[in-house]
Structure 1
Amino acid sequence: MTNAVEEFSGKISLLSKWVASIGLLLMTAVIVVQVFSRYVLNDSPVWAEQAALLLMIWYVFIAAAAGVREGFHIRIAVIAESLPEGPRRWVRLLTHLLVLLFGIAMAVFGAQLAAATWEHVIPTLGLSRGLAYVPISISGVLIVGFSAEQLFADLRSKEVVPLWN
C-alpha cells in the first residue's frame, strides 16, 4: 500500500472522527436545551428529541466507520489470537473481507432505505426522514474503504497504523 493511500485514508478517518465529535457536541447541546427548557421554563421544545436522535444516528455511524480503520471498534480477537500464526492470518483476512462485504451491504441498503423514505417528513423538524438513513450508506462506503485498506495491508504483512497511536 502506498503512503499516499495511507495518508488519504488517515485524513478521511480524522475527518470522520471530527464530524462524529461535532455531532456528539451538538447533540449534547440540544439535550441541555431540552432539559433546561423542561425543568426551568416548564416548556420543552418539540424539536429537541428528534434533533438529538438524528444527530446521534449520524455521529454513531460515522464514528463506527472510523473505528474500522483505527481499530477502536468492538471485535472478538480471542479466537484469532489463540491460533498459530498461519491460521491467525487467514482468520484476520477473512474478518476483513466479511467487514468489507458488510460495508457494501450497508452502502447499498442504506441508500435504498434513504431513497424509500425521502418523501416522508419528520414533523417536528420539517426534514426528510431519509436523512436518518443517509449515514448508514456513507458509513458503509467508508467501511468498504477502510476494510480494503486493512485487507491489503494484511496481505502484505503490514499493519495500518492508527492515528491515535
Structure 2
Amino acid sequence: MIRILSTVTRIAADMLLKAAAFGLVLMTVIVGWQVFGRYVLNSTPSWSEQAALTLMIWYVSLAAAAGVRQGFHIRIVALEDAVSPGLRRGMQVVSNSLIGLCGVAMFVWGGELVLRTWSHVVPSLGIPRGLTYLALPISGALMALFAFEQVLERLGFRAPETISDKDAP
C-alpha cells in the first residue's frame, strides 16, 4: 500500500512540476505579448494582465504542492542537522504534520473562496473568478496528501524505492 501511495504521489508531483513549468512559460509569452502590444503596437491587450495573474496563481500553487513531495519547500535544516537522528525524525514528523494541516486549511478555506467568488466574472477573460482560485484547494489537498506520505516515511513506513541517501542515519 505504501509503495502504491509513493508511486502515485511521485507521478502526481512530476505532473505538477510539468504543469507549473508550462504555466510559467505561457505566462512569460503572455507578458511578452503585452509588452510588444504596448510599446510596438500602441495597443495593450486587455486580457493579458489578468491571464498572467491567473496563470501565476496556478503555477505557484501547483509548484508549492510538488515542493512538499520533493522536499524543496522553504525550511531551515541547520537545526535538523545539529541534532541526533531520532530527534531529527521527530522534528520532521512535526514539521510535515504542520505542513499537512496548512494544506488542509488551504483546501477548506480555498474551497470556500472558490465557492464565494464563482459567480463573479473576470471581465477581461470572461471566466468565473472562482476558477482563478481553484488552484488553492487543489494544491492544498495535494500538500496534505504529500505531507501525510512524508510523515509515514519518517515513522518508518516506506516503500523500498523511496529510501534515499539523505534519509540514511
The TM-score with structure 2 as length reference comes to 0.90
1:33 Cα deviation after fit:
0.7
Letter of the aligned partner of 1:149 in structure 2? E
Task: Give the aligned partner of residue 167 of structure 2.
Answer: none
Contact 1:70 1:161 in 2 (8 A): no
Q: Which runs of 4+ in 1 moved over 4 A?
A: 157-162
Q: Cα offset for 1:85?
A: 2.1
Contact 2:116–2:130 (CA under 8 A) maintained in structure 1: yes
The 5-angstrom pairing of residues 1-165 of structure 1 reads: 2-156=2-156, 158=158, 160=162
Tell me how far apart the structure 2 counterparts of residues 2 and 71 of structure 1 sit (CA, whole Å).
18
Deviation string 1:121-154 (CA, Å, 9 cap, x unpaired) is 1111111111121101000011011001110000
Point out where structure 1 has 5 or more consecutive residues left out of the alignment: none
Q: Deviations over 1:33-63 (max 9, x none)?
A: 1011111101111110010000000000000
- The 3 A distance-change label for structure 1 pair 46 and 161 is farther
Q: 1:120 & 1:76 partners in 2: Cα distance? A: 40
Q: How many residues are matched?
A: 162
Alpha-carbon distance between aligned partners in 1 of 2:31 and 2:96, rounded to the nearest angstrom = 37
Q: Which runs of 5+ in 2 are unaligned?
A: 165-169
Give the structure-1-normalised TM-score: 0.92
Give the SS at the match of 1:22.
Answer: helix
Q: Single out whichever of 124-133 and 62-71 deviates more from structure 2.
A: 124-133
Does the CA contact (< 8 Å) of 2:114 and 2:131 recur in 1? yes
Q: Are the equivalent residues in 1 in contact too, given 2:67–2:73 (CA < 8 A)? A: yes
Deviation at 1:18, TM superposition (A): 1.1
CA contact (8 A) 2:3 2:158 kept: no
Distance 1:9 1:161 in 2: 15
Deviation at 1:157, TM superposition (A): 6.9
2: CA distance, partners of 1:157 / 1:113: 35
Pick closer, same or farther for the CA change 1:154–1:110 going to 2, 3 Å.
Answer: same
SS at 1:6 equivalent = helix
SS in 2 for 1:15: helix
